[in-house]
Each structure stands twice: as C-alpha cells, then as structure tokens.
Amino acid sequence: MALAQINPTVGAISKNSRKILSFIDKASRMDCDLVVFPELAITGYPPEDLLLKSRFITDNMKAIEDISRKVKGITALVGFVDRGRDGELYNSAAILHKGTIAGVCHKIHLPNYGVFDEQRYFKAGNLPMSFSLDGLKIGVGICEDLWFADGPARLQRLCGAHVIVNLNASPFDSGKLLRREELIGQRVRENKVAIIYNNLVGGQDELVFDGQGMVVDEHALVLARGKAFDEDLFVVDLDATGLKKTRRADKKERELLLTGLARSGVLNKVRLIRLSKEDRKKDKVAIPERARGMKLAAGEVLPEGRSFKEVNNSQGLESELELEDTLSALVLGTRDYAKKSGFKRCVIGLSGGIDSAIVAVIAAKALGAENVTGVFMPSRYSSKDSRVDAELIAKNLGIDYRDISITPTFNSYLQSLDRDFKGTESGVAEENLQARTRGNLIMALSNKFGWLVLTTGNKSEMAVGYATLYGDMAGGFAVIKDVPKLLVYRLSEYINIKAGSALIPERIITKPPTAELRPDQCDQDTLPPYEILDPILKAYVEDNQCVSEIVAMGFDRAVVKRIITMVDRSEYKRRQSPPGIKITTRAFGKDRRMPITNGYLHR
C-alpha cells in the first residue's frame, strides 16, 4: 500500500492531475498494489463556490477520466467531484484500475459545521462501497464516514472487509492529531480491521492541512506514518494472511450481527467490486527509508482506555509537540498562501514588539530571508529600544531592513485637521491616525513592488478590537490572527530554544507590550492582563460559554461583561480584516460567524 500525501492547489485541475500521475508512477515503480490519494485531490479542498460552476465540474470529471486511462499495473483511489444524472454533486473517490474507472464511492456523512459547508454543495451518498483486490476486501470511506461507530466502516466490516481506506482533507488545529488517533484506534478495535488513513497537506486560505496520514493494523499497531506538514509518499506492506485470519476468528460474532442486519435489508446497500492484481512491467525503484522521527513512531500501539493527550502529558511532551505543530502550520500556511497566490516577496511593519517579531520569523522560514522586508516606521512616541530591537530582529533573521519615519506625514494630517479638531483633546483619533499612516506607507510599498503585506495582529487583539481599521489591520494576510497573545509568547520562547540563541531578542519577549501611540502607553492601560484576558476569550469565543459560566471559573463579573462587550462590538472590524491561519479549534471567520448588527445582551 502507498499513501500519496499531496499538496494540491484549489482549482488548478491540470496541475493537480500531473502531480497525481507523478505519484501514481512512483508508487507503481515501488511495486505497490494500491496507492491512496486524499479527499478531492483533483480539485483541491475546499473548492467552495467553484463547485457552482458547471464547467469546473466537467473539467474535474474529464481529468479523472484522463488519469484513469493512464493507470496500469496498480490500483489508485483518487478523490474528485462526481455529478449524478440529475446534476447533483457528490464528494467522491474513484477506483482506478486497468485503465478504467472501476467504481465510484460517494461520501455519506457530510460535515456542515465550523469551516465545513459540504451540505451547501454536495448530496450525501447512501451506498457504502468495498472492493476486492486479489482476495483482500477493502472498504472505502471519505473523511467523516469514519467518525461514526455505526457508519459505513461497520457495514463494510460485517460484509467481510479486511481493510478500511479513508481519504481525508482534515484541517489542522492544536490537538487534532491526538483526536484523530483516538478515533482510529476506536474504529480498529470495534471492527478488527486495518485502517489506512490518508490526509491532505498544504495551506488553503485560512486552512492548513497537516498530512500525518497513517497505516494501523487490526491490532492497533502503527505500521507507517506520513510526514507532518509536508508532501510524502510512504509505503507499507500489509500482512494479508494475518488480516484474513483475524476476519475468520471474528466470523461467529459477525454472523450473529449479519443475521439481524440481513433481515432489515441494510446489507443490500453495501456494494462490492472485484478486481484482480496486474502484472507490472515498469522498472522498480527502491522503497525509501521510512524513519521520520514522527510524533508517535511507527511500531507503537494506539492506546486503549485513555487519550493520547494523557499519554503525551505523562511523557512531558505535549507542550513541545503543540508548539512545534503550531509553528509548522503557521509557516506552511504563510508559504502556500503567498506562493499559490503568486507572491514571491512579503513586507512587514516591524515595531520592535513581539507580534511583528514572530511574524518576521515565520515569514523568513516560509519564503526565505532574502524575500522578506521589514519596515520600522517610528513616530514621536517610538522609543529608542524599539528601534534597536527592530534592527536587531532584522539582522538576526538576515532580512532587508528599512526605516521610514511617519512623523512628517502624521504632522501634515494634523495640520489638515487642525480647524476641525480645534478645542478637542488628543485621543483615539490621533492614535489611530498614526496607525493609518503606517498602513498607507506599507501598502504603498506593496503596490509599488508587488509585495504581500503580512499583518501582525494576534487573536487577543482581534477579539477585543485592539487594532486599527485601515492601519495595523491593513494588509493581505494575517499570519497570527488566530494565535492568542500568551501563545505568541510561548512560541517566541520555543523559537529561541530551537535556534539555540536569542533569535528573537530577549527584551522583545520580556518588555511590557505597547502600541506606542501616546507617551508611556501600555496594553494593560486598556486591556486586562493577558493572563486574564486570554482564558476569558477562549471560554467565550471558542467554547461558547456565557457570562455566568465564565464567572464560575473564577473571573470577575464586571471584567467578563466588559470583555464580552468588546468582542461583540468589534465584529465589524474582524469582518474587514485579511484572512489568517486557523490554529485553534474555533477561529474568527469561517468557524465563528456572528451578525455584525447584534442586539442580543449577554447576562
């Protein structure tokens, strides 16, 4: 078995097809019987309203037919969009064998929550499918089809399946890998089958797909793992004799269940396609070494009775793994957003603060230091330390550094507004005018040179509106939009540990955060300490808890109500912000869709 963990581009059907054929050829020359691709590999995931374009569907179907004619000496499972007789669309997997499409499996369980809108586009399938390859019965499912204990996998197993293959486009969030492994272990033990779980990899707008596919045998033993956040073609030999022996031992239990299910007619809905293995004529290549240094090495057993989270905690690993995966997701998401959108270079407003510093580190890792420009834009309120720290982070990373003062432009704005502002005290308007001056300058560089502007606002700021529209929110991609402030600090410390030096200068991490828009300004002049703010935001934004529930966690009621009010009133700002990478269980945007005009009062 080969798992082709590929990074397609949404909508690039021809490009994706060439990639698929390349991986099929490699798997065939590695003497594989079967190669499995991710969900919707032809179109990329999620294709969203491209699915409403009839020509797009036609092109995708032509592509799967063209690929099928070239598949010889191996069987391939490839995700694509199928169109029914009445024009309905199905999220599908094609079984490609001997130059034809031998069968098509339709996804049965369509997710419609969080970032998923599959019921907007697809009709649910109702026919679980298995195919027999040289006597080995293989059930086919797509992503969510594996989630349900009474789903397709159960029926396929009862009808004799030895292996369940699952094609996925499962986006990353912190802790997702652990939840997947718990789920796979549960399905293995329930059904006594091997599971081949292949996942998409790559960035697509706000989403990042982390790969990390796996092959688990009928004893929950991990046989192979795919790379994290990178393309991979990994191969494993399944013990067909052992699988068949397990199935025979399971015969009595299955017969009891089959008797009841046969009476209900449910089993008539499972379709079986019989295929035969083919002779291979291509020159073989050596199978590469599989050792990857994965999160959980191949050869370990998925634990029973306790979660992977508990296992990792007992080993003291969870925090490090979470930070490594989060950093990898941010780098991959930034790289793919830029490259797939046609940008070669980016520009960042370097303030000397921690948010812009970590975005600069991510950008340098994603695009190469030679393709990153950092611009320090001082005002009359900028400290000497900020300038020194901005220069130092740029030097440490080896990125292009520029210094453009906003003072002349800011003064000209004040002069233009002098008559209208006369008699008023300086306040938020003047502060935001500085941020908008910086936004204009950074966007001017973007327009002149075709650079992608990376904004530097974090999730805590985006939540409570501690950001300026058309100022520090101006840009093309918001790298840390879903990263809470406390996690920004933890990631920064982790970056330095990995680097073995203060790549991010120590003072940037230790000094109190400030926007430097007025004398002696500090974030905590306006906001509660982040140690209080971030847990309240998580409870309200990610966990949907109400005021009384959050107060019961030990927080002051007045503080909780104030923060919730700030979150609700800032929806109009977030709606106008650039897309950013999802790394938490509930990000602003597709995950959390609140009305801007909202009269609901939280109590």
- Residue 257 pLDDT > 80, yes or no? no
Report the candidate in 40, 48, 39, 2 with the shortest Cα–Cα distance to residue 143.
39
| 165 phi, psi to nearest 5 deg | -105, 130
- The domain ranges of the chain are 2-278, 320-523
pTM here is: 0.90
Report the candidate in 241, 156, 251, 252 with the shortest Cα–Cα distance to residue 195.
156
When mean pLDDT is compared over 223-227, 276-280, 307-311, 401-405, the highest value belongs to 401-405
Which architecture characterizes domain 2-278 according to CATH? 4-Layer Sandwich (3.60)
Weakest mean pLDDT among 174-183, 211-220, 347-356, 374-383:
174-183
Averaged confidence pLDDT in the chain: 88
Domain 2-278 and domain 320-523 have a common topology = no
Weakest mean pLDDT among 28-37, 252-261, 465-474:
252-261
Domain 320-523: assigned CATH number: 3.40.50.620
169-188 tens-digit pLDDT: 999 998 888 889 889 999 99
Q: How confident is the model at residue 279, as a pLDDT?
A: 59
Q: How confident is the model at residue 555, as a pLDDT?
A: 95
Write the CA distances from 266 to 153, 154, 271, 352, 488, integer angstroms. 13, 11, 11, 64, 51
Tell me the three state secondary structure of residue 232: strand
Contact 57, 83 (CB under 8 A): yes
Place of tokens 């969203």: 48
Residue 143: other Cβ atoms inside 10 A = 26
Model confidence at 291, pLDDT cuts 50, 70, 90, reads: very low
Place of tokens 């015969």: 251
Report the candidate in 412, 455, 428 with the shortest Cα–Cα distance to residue 580.
455
Cα–Cα distance for residue pair 596/591, rounded to 1 Å: 15
| 421 phi, psi to nearest 5 deg | -90, -5
Residue 276: other Cβ atoms inside 10 A = 11
Enumerate the active-site residues.
39, 107, 143
Cα–Cα distance for residue pair 484/214, rounded to 1 Å: 30
88-139 tens-digit pLDDT: 999 999 999 999 999 999 999 999 888 889 999 999 998 899 998 888 899 9
Model confidence at 318, pLDDT cuts 50, 70, 90, reads: very low
Q: What mean pLDDT is predicted for residues 467-472?
A: 89
Tokens for 46, please give them: 């999620």
- Residue 146 pLDDT > 50, yes or no? yes
Q: What percent of the chain has pLDDT over 90?
A: 69
Cα–Cα distance for residue pair 237/197, rounded to 1 Å: 15
Helices (H), 500-570: 506-510, 530-537, 547-551, 557-569
- Residue 312 pLDDT > 50, yes or no? no
Tell me the three state secondary structure of residue 322: helix
Model confidence at 25, pLDDT cuts 50, 70, 90, reads: very high
Model confidence at 293, pLDDT cuts 50, 70, 90, reads: very low
- Residue 3 pLDDT > 70, yes or no? yes
Q: What percent of the chain has pLDDT over 70?
A: 88
Residue 554: other Cβ atoms inside 10 A = 8
Q: Which long-range contacts (CB under 8 A, 24 or more apart) does 487-495 make?
A: 487/326, 488/354, 488/355, 488/358, 488/458, 489/354, 490/319, 490/323, 491/323, 491/326, 491/327, 491/358, 492/354, 492/357, 492/358, 494/320, 494/323, 494/324, 494/327, 495/327, 495/358, 495/361
